[in-house]
Amino acid sequence: MTLARTASINLIGLSGEPIEIEVDVSNGLPAYSLLGLPDATLNESRDRIRAAILNSGKNWPNRKVTVSLSPAWLPKSGSAFDLPIALAILTASEQLKHSELEKAFYLGELSLEGNLRPVRGVLPTLIAARESGVKNVVVPRENFQEASLLSELNVFPFSKLNEVIRFLESGIKTENPTLIDVTKVVSNVDMSEVAGHFENKSALEVAASGGHNLLMIGAPGSGKTMLAERFPTILPPLDETEAIEVSGIHSIAGTLHDRNVLSTEPPFVAPHHSTTIPALVGGGSKYIKPGACSLAHRGVLFIDEAPECGAGILDALRQPMESGSITITRSALTTSFPARFILVLAANPCPCGRFAGRGRGCQCSSLQVRRYLGKMSGPLLDRVDIRLAVESPTRAELSSVENEDSATIRSRVIRSRKVAAKRFAPYSFKLNSQIPPNLLREHFRPTKEGMTILHSLLDQEVISARGFHRTIRLSWSIADLKGVTVPGKDEVEQALTLRSGMPGE
Amino acid sequence: MALNKIAAKLGEQGEDFVAKSLVSRGLRVLDRNWRIKEGEIDLVAQDCDGTIVFVEVKTRSSISHGDPLESISFDKAFRIQRLALAWLATHQRLGSRYRIDAAGILVTRAGEFLMDYREGVL
């Protein structure tokens, strides 16, 4: 037999396409041609595969080797094809005789020594494999934990090309590596470490239960970052589907090693303010990588020093904030990544940072102060429901010992989200922050007293129409936390306070 | 003997070996080491059906630098094709059927010749 076939998966964004790999070994001059729009990594596969085959004690066929990856029109990338190509070459050159080669999918990069090296994006790749009806997959051992999350698949992990050959020839399988126990939440920070800030903590609680975006303004050192870092610890843990979804995105980005594969902890992503738009929303020409906002999917995207961000950078977040996903289009392909995150922005009140509290020592002119916060665009702030003025805790607050831990706060958040989910059961959204305006006015109105306050503020032009809607959404979250069925006067008033932390509206 | 002379001798031995094997298979050797400015054709033979066969012979005494045939790159193969056309033109044989073969000869330490012969490599 001079022709052999194997199969693998090519990943574009989060979706995978089954790829058929055909290898023909014919009697020409020794040559190797790889067909089917390979990228640079894939083109280099020849030298890796050749060395790996020789160093695994097999022979490289000194003949004309033609490798075709079909469908031919689809651009292919990555090193995961090394293993299937190597196996097909060995079969086509009659060094590996096994009829079951086509019954499995293969993934794995080869080292020159013949070892199998881990590849990126195994989780979404295998989800695609499962959808195309595959039962058996061969993966590098380092990817086993990730791969074994999909219980419907028979996953065979190996660490050497030789082991795969032996397995295919005789069915001898090396013992499965033991799975590391999945720990629930491995966060090393806790809300109880933050002294004082009682109002801010309860504001965070509201934000967590309703999924509201948040802006914190305060002097340097007042505790903005500390609060933000602990925000994910009060969010409800991810369920299994969500955890797999989040791990899948991190798997493509190659950042999975930072997370436990089945971690139920919501991700926390804090890009530096010098970030670029492609880094934030995702990009790349042939191999599209998810950006920070997709890595923060189902978690928190924290941008410190938000006004220092380049013009237009933060505004790139508006579309994913609206739709919960981001679609990236390049000449070669178009792909979508989910991006449903809670945005937390932190800012100094002015360039020098001292225009807080009584503004003592601030050297900035009023114009500078206004311009500084004005760098965050109106449409962006429009999507931020809560604005907090973060002030340094007082001496009494710093010495207080009664600080609630994250678990206690989280349990309240979970309860309030359950209440909301029940209420929104007939609709497609789950969180208070996602209630569409028309439903706010029809089905989800506060009580008459609550509405009276809002209407009078609207009449006096103290709040805008969008401020009006936002306040109602917030009041629902407050009501859910309190256990009130419909937000009344108190809840509306509290909601108004939560969004008044910033000069302007 | 200088190294290049050893190599030249090795090459000659290899070509002799290939020529003999062609004859034993019923081919007629028409030309050997046909050289013009652009390069050289190692062997020209004629098959029993009339096809003109141009053979590039590569001889090596060890595989430490890879298989002998590996050193024939596609560029080199194309050059041989141009030379082949030149040969045909010179001998008023343009239009006749031809093919290009490659022969890799490995000379073992015991002086044994191992041949890897590929027909129609281009």
Q: What is the ipTM of this complex?
A: 0.75
pLDDT along chain A (505 residues), means of 10: 86 85 89 89 90 93 91 87 94 84 89 93 87 87 85 88 89 62 62 87 93 90 90 90 87 75 84 90 81 93 90 88 87 84 92 75 84 84 86 82 87 93 89 88 89 91 84 93 91 87 45
A28 to chain B, any CB pair closer than 8 A? The answer is yes
Letter for the amino acid at A238?
Answer: L
DSSP designation for A428: S
Quick check: helix, strand or coil at residue A407? Answer: helix
B79 to chain A, any CB pair closer than 8 A? The answer is no
Per-residue pLDDT of chain B (122 residues; tens, 9 = 90+): 577 888 888 889 999 999 999 999 999 999 999 999 989 999 999 999 999 999 999 998 887 887 888 888 888 888 999 999 999 999 999 889 999 999 999 998 888 899 989 888 87
Tokens (6 digits) for A95: 């060094």
Using the beta-carbon criterion (under 8 Å), do B121 and A29 form an inter-chain contact?
yes
Distance CA A353, CA A304 (A): 13
- Chain B residue whose CA is closest to A27: B118
Using the beta-carbon criterion (under 8 Å), do B102 and A62 form an inter-chain contact?
no
- Is the CB of residue B101 less than 8 Å from the CB of residue B121? yes
pLDDT for res A89? 94
Backbone torsions φ then ψ of A435, nearest 5 degrees? -65, 125
Name the one residue in this structure whose structure tokens are 């595989």: B63
Tokens (6 digits) for A175: 């013992």
Q: What is the nearest CA distance from A33 to chain B, expressed in angstroms?
A: 12
Beta bridge partners of A38: A76
pLDDT for res A1? 59
Quick check: helix, strand or coil at residue A246? Answer: helix
Beta bridge partners of A6: A21
Using the beta-carbon criterion (under 8 Å), do B121 and A30 form an inter-chain contact?
no
- Is the CB of residue A276 less than 8 Å from the CB of residue A314? no
pLDDT for res A502? 46
Beta bridge partners of B52: B46, B98
Tokens (6 digits) for B100: 């290009």
Beta bridge partners of B46: B28, B52
**Contacts A28 to B, Cβ<8 Å:** 118, 121-122
Q: What is the nearest CA distance from A295 to chain B, expressed in angstroms?
A: 47
DSSP designation for B94: T
- Count of residues in chain A: 505
Quick check: helix, strand or coil at residue A38? Answer: strand
Beta bridge partners of A7: A20, A105
- Chain A residue whose CA is closest to B77: A29
pLDDT for res B36? 92
* Angle, helix A198-210 to helix A465-482, in steps of 10 degrees: 100
Distance of CA A351 to the CA centre of its chain: 32
B115 to chain A, any CB pair closer than 8 A? The answer is no
**CATH class for the domain made up of A3-170:** alpha beta
Distance CA A214, CA A267 (A): 17
Q: What is the CATH number of domain B3-118?
A: 3.40.1350.10
A59 Cβ contact partners less than 8 Å away, ≥ 6 residues apart: A53, A93, A95
Quick check: helix, strand or coil at residue A328? Answer: strand
B72 to chain A, any CB pair closer than 8 A? The answer is yes
Omega into A71 within 30° of 0, i.e. cis?
Answer: yes
Q: What is the nearest CA distance from A117 to chain B, expressed in angstroms?
A: 27
From the CB of residue A324, how many other CB atoms can be counted at a distance below 10 Å?
13
Q: What is the nearest CA distance from B78 to chain A, expressed in angstroms?
A: 12
- Is the CB of residue B82 less than 8 Å from the CB of residue B74? no
Q: Where are the alpha helices (DSSP H) in A223-376?
A: 224-230, 240-253, 277-281, 292-295, 318-323, 366-374
Task: Identify which of A307, A341, A309, A311 has the alpha carbon closest to the alpha carbon of residue A324.
Answer: A341
Tokens (6 digits) for A464: 């805008």
Letter for the amino acid at A297?
Answer: H
Distance CA A280, CA A293 (A): 6
Distance of CA B31 to the CA centre of its chain: 11
Distance CA A126, CA A7 (A): 12
> A361's torsion region: left (phi>0), alpha (psi -120 to 50) or beta?
left
Q: Which CATH superfamily is domain A191-413 in?
A: P-loop containing nucleotide triphosphate hydrolases (3.40.50.300)
Chain B interface test: which of A26, A59, A62 (most B C-beta within 10 Å)? A62
Backbone torsions φ then ψ of A37, nearest 5 degrees? 50, 60
DSSP designation for A439: H
- Is the CB of residue A469 less than 8 Å from the CB of residue A442? no
Backbone torsions φ then ψ of B98, nearest 5 degrees? -145, 160
Q: What is the nearest CA distance from B74 to chain A, expressed in angstroms?
A: 8
Distance CA B103, CA B59 (A): 8
pLDDT for res A28? 81
Domain ranges of chain B: 3-118
**Angle of CA points B63, B64, B67, to nearest 5°:** 35
What separation in angstroms does the CA of A205 have from each of A227, A232, A475, B60?
11, 11, 13, 78
Distance CA A447, CA A428 (A): 24
Domain ranges of chain A: 3-170, 191-413, 435-505
Q: Are strands A15-26 and A64-70 parallel, antiparallel or unpaired?
A: antiparallel
- Is the CB of residue A419 less than 8 Å from the CB of residue A198? no
pLDDT for res A455? 92
- Count Cβ neighbours within 10 Å for each residue of A231-248 and write b for 16 or more, e otherwise: bbbbbbebeeebbbbbbb
